[in-house]
Structure 1
């Protein structure tokens, strides 16, 4: 009888035997903390990670708090180079180049920065103007950049605000007030309408959206806000200024529409002078700062609940102190759908990491407040629906407060991602860049604003300690700039503007932070 065959002993499988291309692909699924551990555990893995452009780009993206745009036409080596150049330029608050854009039309108080475009309103409020912000310096002899125009058709109507969802829906919604001809005690009656247009070159009525007649106002045109995310369009209507002191003002309303059908999904009503801002924290969660109650209301738009899902109290006020207005903004907005056009940049600030800015106004004082979007959403997840939370139990560790005395507060479009740009309200001022990215705070603590236990104790405004422990990196530009009357910020640029003697914006200077 033949003896049985001897069983072969197989070598154990080792991760390091995997082909390099497959190993890099496997490592790309790890969080950056695990990649760092791999680098420290093996010389081979350290070299593999250091030599991989894909993994270096992943690490750089995570550190910068940006998301990748796979459809953008940039090779990965260029993406990494562009990201490093942008981060270094902002870290030093030193632009790579500056380009001026003339404003050849009288302007109104309408403005916005979104999706690489800068918008202004015409003085007669019959049209919006926009310019595509440059991503390269002007070549010698280049013609001036041209302003596009989105007009409304009714010569009697006036634009009172507008909302944008350019990348997601190619959508511009213009809120208009059209007088009916009736005047009661000196107050004009008018129809409030939301008109949808395409952002693409023809600027025709949007084929998938419906124009909405909100209602007829007997109190003149209101102060309004328009925000669009996914299928929702939020319209905030407030009459902040009392025309006849003896008459009560109408209530504030927040209407949540399905912008495609015009159907009202949710209506929120409050005392006059309550709401002056709306911010989408996520596609389903809306933040409404409440000026009357000094709170932040988080509303679940998918719930039938008629009260906020969570109410966050601001610090208690000293008796006799009254808030006048709270406004807020977060950029970028969240999105639901894939962008309809190819993005110009290969990456963009991550929505979930972005900062929310609040302008908090009293009769004789102004303050800035910064909170991470993800921190607010985490609070919502930690509380049962309908709960409220005192400031001492949520705010000090999550907030950064700044006294805005002496700052230029003309516009609120001063944040992008985790950065904010500030300008002093004087003839000559540098740009100040605040960075709330925890990675940048950690690697350069000597330029961070220290935490404050109660920085406004002597202001006589708050009746409790206003803790301010959210870490923040501060950089100031090496140059002083003259005669700027306001600034805005997007992912790549500081946009500063000058006014002429008639107080119209006459010149926009674009400071680019990236590859020269």
Structure 2
């Protein structure tokens, strides 16, 4: 009987692709020059690796980017994840802003923009440029808030009033109304996709404390705070149409998707999920639909929640052409609220600071599962797979963070470090988490510790443990910052010594 030798390349291509999938990128690259069939199989294998790696990393491929192949995309994805896991940049540059007291700022794509209190001038930097030279935009009005969605819509939204909001110490009134202006960031001109590049918001003259704006694709949410009351407007900024007008007592609003918005009740701290109904000619007081109310945990003592929204990237699906090989998934990203908890113990009051991290995908799944409109869910009924509390120890709270994708970071000034939390479930499982909801601390390449993270029992009156695990990385070199901002491939560390020496600087970390 003659024995036939079967060579590796005699196997069907489909099987070879799976076999080659187990090889590392360097090994595959070294075999590319063997022959055409081997190259074709390796190309298909690296494409499979890239697609699975992108799915695990919760990033979306950019099919418009045809300048690099799947091998280069896979390497770029692996390199970026390694940089963030180790918190080690490939280079750092510094922006110096002497005697510039920032009141409002935004960060999106390669653009960082900021303005001083009640200023007419917006100062911005393009981080992609070789030199970090400040550029300016001047407006016919006073800037009260701004938002950026650069990679998604090339969009800058500016909230303007005709006079300073806090002109005198005892006065918070405005006259002349409020305007939303929409600009293309690339040209600094009125946005060509906006049918009405200026929207006059119908706010009566009177006392206003804060004005806040948020973006999701073609939707923009604008919240106005009066004395103990709020009013929320949601517009389709491209069509110039009003989609929602809600009077209430809400402290914050964040888009969960283009047609779902999360509102925070001022008094109770309850989180409300509302659906936005697309309808024309929305009269005052006609709003979307309140779908479900999510209760926060009971407090151990008499007290209250004070909740502020933080900014995040991305802001919807990326619609414009981009040179990036991939982008963070909006649906898989996290939403973070900065939560102050005040507890009263006799005449004394204790203050605690937390980040409440929410899974955007988890909230959308929860919304689908609730059939009864207006239903109220207790903390234990909704939170374990959706929410995670991170205690801040009071560190770095002067500057509100900006998160990106599934990553959140803040400055811890005591030891002088950045603490970065990655809520990607695949990374958590890959590093060997034996417990759902555990925090894995990456100490080094060889050492990973499970952090025993238990919220102090005297704060909450019920269990707040989470099934949302995360991976924690600390910067290795001493970095005393006052705040941390994140984007796809950037980390900005804010060093604020204005009161001491009039200096403000930003260390820009490039993570590739």
Normalised by the shorter chain, which TM-score bucket? 0.7 to 0.9
Structure-2 change in CA distance of 1:238 and 1:96 (3 Å): same
Whether the 8 Å CA contact 1:448–1:474 is kept in 2: the answer is: yes
1:107 Cα deviation after fit: 3.5
| Residues 449-474 of structure 1 deviation map (CA, whole Å, 9 limit, x = unaligned) | 66989633223xx3222223321111
| Residues 323-370 of structure 1 deviation map (CA, whole Å, 9 limit, x = unaligned) | 2333244421223x721xx32321111112111111111341111111
Whether the 8 Å CA contact 2:310–2:401 is kept in 1: the answer is: no
The structure number with the bigger radius of gyration is 1
CA-atom RMSD in angstroms = 3.4
* Alpha-carbon distance in 2 for matches of 1:17, 1:410: 64
Q: Is 1:288–2:281 an aligned residue pair?
A: no
Aligned equivalent of 2:126: 132
| Residues 217-243 of structure 1 deviation map (CA, whole Å, 9 limit, x = unaligned) | 54444312212223322101113xxxx
Aligned equivalent of 1:66: 59
SS at match of 2:303: coil
Whether the 8 Å CA contact 2:118–2:164 is kept in 1: the answer is: no
- Greater shift, 59-68 or 314-323, is seen at 314-323
Q: 1:400 aligns with which of 347, 365, 388?
A: 388
Show the 5 A alignment for 1:341-420.
342-363=321-342, 364-384=351-371, 385-420=373-408
Aligned equivalent of 1:445: 432
1:314 Cα deviation after fit: 0.7
Q: Is 1:458–2:436 an aligned residue pair?
A: no
SS at match of 1:79: helix
- Greater shift, 322-331 or 182-191, is seen at 182-191
SS at match of 1:352: coil
* Alpha-carbon distance in 1 for matches of 2:175, 2:269: 31
SS at match of 2:177: strand
* Alpha-carbon distance in 1 for matches of 2:152, 2:488: 17
* Alpha-carbon distance in 1 for matches of 2:413, 2:176: 38
- Greater shift, 493-502 or 89-98, is seen at 493-502
Q: 2:498 aligns with which of 497, 501, 508?
A: 501
* Alpha-carbon distance in 2 for matches of 1:227, 1:288: 12
Aligned equivalent of 1:338: 319
Q: 2:295 aligns with which of 313, 317, 321?
A: 313
Q: Is 1:432–2:419 an aligned residue pair?
A: yes
Q: 2:80 aligns with which of 83, 86, 92?
A: 86
SS at match of 2:331: helix
1:413 Cα deviation after fit: 3.2
TM-score (structure 1 length as normaliser) = 0.79
Q: Is 1:172–2:148 an aligned residue pair?
A: no
| Residues 144-194 of structure 1 deviation map (CA, whole Å, 9 limit, x = unaligned) | 3222222212xxx31110122333333222111223999998454323323
1:441 Cα deviation after fit: 0.7
Structure-2 change in CA distance of 1:424 and 1:237 (3 Å): same
Aligned equivalent of 2:232: 254
Q: Which blocks of at least 5 consecutive residues in structure 1 are unaligned?
A: 1-15, 29-43, 139-143, 240-248
Q: Which blocks of at least 5 consecutive residues in structure 2 are unaligned?
A: 1-8, 22-36, 279-285, 343-350, 434-438, 442-449
1:123 Cα deviation after fit: 5.1
- Greater shift, 195-204 or 394-403, is seen at 195-204
SS at match of 2:398: coil
Aligned equivalent of 2:132: 145
* Alpha-carbon distance in 1 for matches of 2:301, 2:56: 44
Structure-2 change in CA distance of 1:231 and 1:95 (3 Å): closer
Aligned equivalent of 1:245: none
Structure-2 change in CA distance of 1:134 and 1:230 (3 Å): closer
| Residues 257-298 of structure 1 deviation map (CA, whole Å, 9 limit, x = unaligned) | 222343321111113xx22x3221111111112232221111
1:416 Cα deviation after fit: 0.9
* Alpha-carbon distance in 1 for matches of 2:174, 2:269: 31
SS at match of 2:506: strand
SS at match of 1:146: coil
Whether the 8 Å CA contact 2:496–2:503 is kept in 1: the answer is: yes
The alignment of Structure 1 onto Structure 2 pairs a total of residues equal to 453
SS at match of 2:151: helix
Whether the 8 Å CA contact 1:456–1:466 is kept in 2: the answer is: no
TM-score (structure 2 length as normaliser) = 0.79
Q: 1:53 aligns with which of 37, 46, 52?
A: 46
